[in-house]
Chains A and B, each alone.
Chain A
Amino acid sequence: MKKKLVTVTASVLVLSSVLSACGSGNKENNASPSASPAASPSASASPSEAASPAPVERFDVSLRHIQIGELQKFRKAILDEVVQKAEAEVPGANFEMDAVEDSFNRWTKLPAEMAAGNPPKIFDLFGGPGDGQKFARANKLLDLTPILDELGIKDKFTDFSTFIVDEKVYGLPIGASAEGWFYNKEILDANGIAAPQTLEELEAAFETLKGKGVTPIAMGSQAAWVPFMLLNTLIPRYAGDDIQAGVANGSRKMTEPEVVAALAKYKEWVDKGYFTKGELGIDYTGQTNEFVAGKAGFLFDGTWRVSTFNADGVGGALNGKVGYFAMPAVPGGKGDPTSVNYNQNNGYGFSADVNDNEKAAVKAFIKNLYTEEYQVRGFQEDGVLPSMKVDASKLTSDNSLMQQVLAINAAAGKVFPHFDSLVPGTVNGEFEKQIQNLIAGKATPEKAAEEIQKAMDAELAALK
């Protein structure tokens, strides 16, 4: 018994010394960020220090982005460049890229991480009460105001209001976008249809295409935010450009006849079969692919889609064959017929839980990403409209599609936001649910409007 005990004890000792030897091999690289002394990227080192630089301890900075796949390759390239520059500026910084699909990040992963208290240090973030503002109020986001002041770029943004809570900035929009109709010129020409100017012409075009066996509107409603884009423009055309803000602050109602009329118009298009068959089972990529493959005449999408039709884009086959126009006026509608939906609600946010090293890396990331150079490149390569004040002379494009987008935006009398940047997450969720119910025939326009308003009323009552 005694002999056995000695043998076991000796084995444990040998094993533990071997394992501890393995563990100490790469100590420098494995040092935890919080334990490492603060590396000061801009600190001026003395000549003697420069001659024999002190070993810099590596630290990781997690970066969650949504630039996945071929459709996002231009934006991913910009992000990679920015990360390289930031790593070069901050000794020891190692950005760990974590690519997650947009909806999954926004609706599932990031909220779960926020609740668990372990979000990435840098992450893709939406503004508004359902996202950024909610996290900021819970002290989960880094207050960027001092960093923006230090970098001198606070006044360079055109609008970051959806990221502001109590006059502090908690997120920075990476770009802006408008939403409107893209159309396939070849399909329209082949069917004797001119680019529609009015709602009547647009609906006549849908009818003609449907009669010829061509899907009028490419639509993938598996994720409800996709059809929501079209409704988000259709509703202000009927009910006025202040409807989003009005519903959010309680001064307007979803149950107003004009809003119901917009929902009814959408339902009418569903019932007439203008959208892709089986749209509830098709995702956003599937929608884009259908249009790119030349199977649908129209597509309602954001202006970020412009780059898809570049010669080297996924939809290169349609290069020069796609046109763009804003949603036409609707009969008796209260909305300005030239106004466009304009969003600057998506960008980056940063965890409040950062040490000095990580904060330096965050600062370098912001400094390198939010520059005129990348705003212009994002615009030219990817069709992302700038979220910062950029020299207008640099915002020219040889791309005829982009020229149409710019002309329509320039002619816009007003702009209006998306509901999701103004209403709480539960109301946005109810909106999405009712849109899908409308498409599936499970709700009438009146019932859908009532349910959304009920959710909004509950939120407004809770605020009181």
Chain B
Amino acid sequence: MNKTLRNPYVYLLFVLPTLGLYGLFFVYPVLQSVFYGLTNWDGLTPAKYTGLDNFVKAFNDEDFWISVKNNMYFILFSLFVQVPLIILFSLLISGVKRLQGFYKTTVFLPSILSTSIIGILWGFMYHPSIGLFNNFLGWFGLEPIYWLSDTKWAMLSILVTNAWQWMGFYIVLVLAAILAIPKEINEAAEIDGATGFQRAYRITTPLIMPVISVVVMLSIAGAMRVVDIVLVMTNGGPAGATEVMASYMVNKALRYGQYGYGTALSIMIFVIALLLTAIYQIVFARRQERIEY
């Protein structure tokens, strides 16, 4: 037995099944996508090789870049609105002495609801005549806003709904990190005269940076692959105002039977995701220091 384990080829044998599965379900489809991305293929008849035509078309496709821009809105909204709010709510809940469990459950609840339910629920709230928001505006004598029908408001409406859905999940993550910080650190700061804000800003937040980094990474990943909430709430409308990369790609491939072009778009989405990951690594992840208490 020991002799066998000293043979390096045995270890290779152990990883072979995994490599096989990885090759079959990841490498092969990626290579196949690259091939179909270079063809004019309708999904029904044999593919015709067209070189880089699909990629040239994608670079000049105004609608695709609008959908890329919409994904960027998701990322920016996550980073600059969602993440600060997540930290704020986590700090507030961590400071609560009574009913902390209730608050934790309440904020977590939206993330266990299905996107369809959330879409319908918020669709009612955004309803032009009977919706909560327009009723609220009505108290101040303001004109109703067509939240999901107006090209100016639809994107923001979806961003808010999406943030509501996922914030609870991240809050619980950050909360766990906050509660794991030894109490002595904060107590020492309190004795030294630090205010609540100073403790939150100078002590707690820096100590939970590794978790915030994970939250940022998950938010970027979530924003890149967002599609369900868009399909449920506006289906990319009004007039393409909320179209995202994934919905645009699926539409091109399925509805218009442009599978070759759709596959090329998927490769471009993959490249954009890689670029964003690189930016995240440079800007955020590499600066992390290991925290030891």
Residues of A within 8 A of B (CB): 107-108, 111-112, 114-115, 134-135, 137-138, 140, 222, 277-282, 425-426, 429, 433, 436-437, 439-440, 442
Q: Across the interface, do A107 and B254 meet the contact criterion of CB distance under 8 Å?
A: yes
Which residue of chain B is the closest to A442 with respect to CB atoms? B239
A108 to B227, CA, bound (A): 15
What are 11 sample pairs from A and B whose C-beta atoms fall under 8 A apart? A108-B255, A114-B44, A115-B259, A138-B42, A140-B44, A222-B234, A280-B238, A425-B257, A436-B238, A440-B241, A442-B151
| B251 nearest CB across to chain A (Å) | 8
Chain B contact residues, majority secondary structure: loop
A429 to B255, CA, bound (A): 9
The stretch that binds A, out of B85-93, B142-150, B273-281, is B142-150
| B101 nearest CB across to chain A (Å) | 39
Per-residue interface assignment for chain B, residues 134 to 167, with 1 indicating a CB less than 8 Å from any chain A CB and 0 otherwise? 0000000000001111110010000000000000
| B146 nearest CB across to chain A (Å) | 4
Excluding A278-B150, A280-B150, A433-B239, 4 further A-B contacts by CB distance (< 8 Å) are A115-B43, A137-B45, A277-B146, A278-B128
Residues of B within 8 A of A (CB): 42-45, 128, 146-151, 154, 234-235, 237-241, 250, 254-259
Q: Across the interface, do B43 and A281 meet the contact criterion of CB distance under 8 Å?
A: no
Tell me which of B44, B151, B241, B255 contacts A135 (CB under 8 A).
Answer: B44
Tell me which of B45, B234, B240 contacts A138 (CB under 8 A).
Answer: B45
- Contact A439:B239 (CB < 8 A) given known A111-B43, A115-B43, A426-B256: yes
The 10 closest A-B pairs by CB, nearest first: A281-B149, A115-B43, A280-B238, A138-B44, A278-B146, A278-B149, A440-B239, A436-B239, A281-B148, A107-B255
Which residue of chain A is the closest to B233 with respect to CB atoms? A281
| B54 nearest CB across to chain A (Å) | 14
- Contact A280:B149 (CB < 8 A) given known A108-B254, A425-B256: yes
A426 to B234, CA, bound (A): 21
Q: Across the interface, do A281 and B241 meet the contact criterion of CB distance under 8 Å?
A: no
Contacts of B45 in A (CB 8 A): 137-138
Contacts of A429 in B (CB 8 A): 255-256
Contacts of A425 in B (CB 8 A): 255-257
Which residue of chain A is the closest to B149 with respect to CB atoms? A281
| B19 nearest CB across to chain A (Å) | 27
Q: Across the interface, do B238 and A115 meet the contact criterion of CB distance under 8 Å?
A: no
Contacts of B150 in A (CB 8 A): 278, 280-281
Contacts of A222 in B (CB 8 A): 234-235, 237-238
Q: Across the interface, do A280 and B255 meet the contact criterion of CB distance under 8 Å?
A: no
A115 to B46, CA, bound (A): 11
Contacts of A115 in B (CB 8 A): 43-44, 254, 257, 259
A101 to B42, CA, bound (A): 24
Contacts of A433 in B (CB 8 A): 239-240
A278 to B238, CA, bound (A): 9
Q: Across the interface, do A111 and B237 meet the contact criterion of CB distance under 8 Å?
A: no
- Contact A280:B237 (CB < 8 A) given known A135-B44, A138-B44, A140-B44: yes
A222 to B149, CA, bound (A): 8
Which residue of chain B is the closest to A107 with respect to CB atoms? B255
Q: Across the interface, do A440 and B151 meet the contact criterion of CB distance under 8 Å?
A: yes
Tell me which of A107, A134, A282, A440 contacts B44 (CB under 8 A).
Answer: A134
| B248 nearest CB across to chain A (Å) | 12
Contacts of A135 in B (CB 8 A): 44
Tell me which of A138, A426, A436 contacts B237 (CB under 8 A).
Answer: A436
Contacts of B239 in A (CB 8 A): 280, 433, 436-437, 439-440, 442
| B139 nearest CB across to chain A (Å) | 20
Q: Across the interface, do A111 and B257 meet the contact criterion of CB distance under 8 Å?
A: yes
A136 to B236, CA, bound (A): 30
Which residue of chain B is the closest to A113 with respect to CB atoms? B254
Which residue of chain B is the closest to A295 with respect to CB atoms? B129
A437 to B237, CA, bound (A): 10
Tell me which of B234, B241, B250, B257 contacts A134 (CB under 8 A).
Answer: B257
A369 to B150, CA, bound (A): 44
Contacts of B250 in A (CB 8 A): 108
A222 to B255, CA, bound (A): 16
A115 to B256, CA, bound (A): 12
| A333 nearest CB across to chain B (Å) | 28
A439 to B238, CA, bound (A): 9
A428 to B150, CA, bound (A): 24
Q: Across the interface, do A112 and B128 meet the contact criterion of CB distance under 8 Å?
A: no
A440 to B151, CA, bound (A): 7
- Contact A279:B43 (CB < 8 A) given known A107-B255, A108-B254, A440-B239: no
Contacts of A138 in B (CB 8 A): 42, 44-45
Which residue of chain A is the closest to B126 with respect to CB atoms? A281
Contacts of B237 in A (CB 8 A): 222, 280-281, 436
Contacts of B42 in A (CB 8 A): 134, 138
Contacts of B240 in A (CB 8 A): 433, 436-437
A279 to B151, CA, bound (A): 12
A418 to B146, CA, bound (A): 31
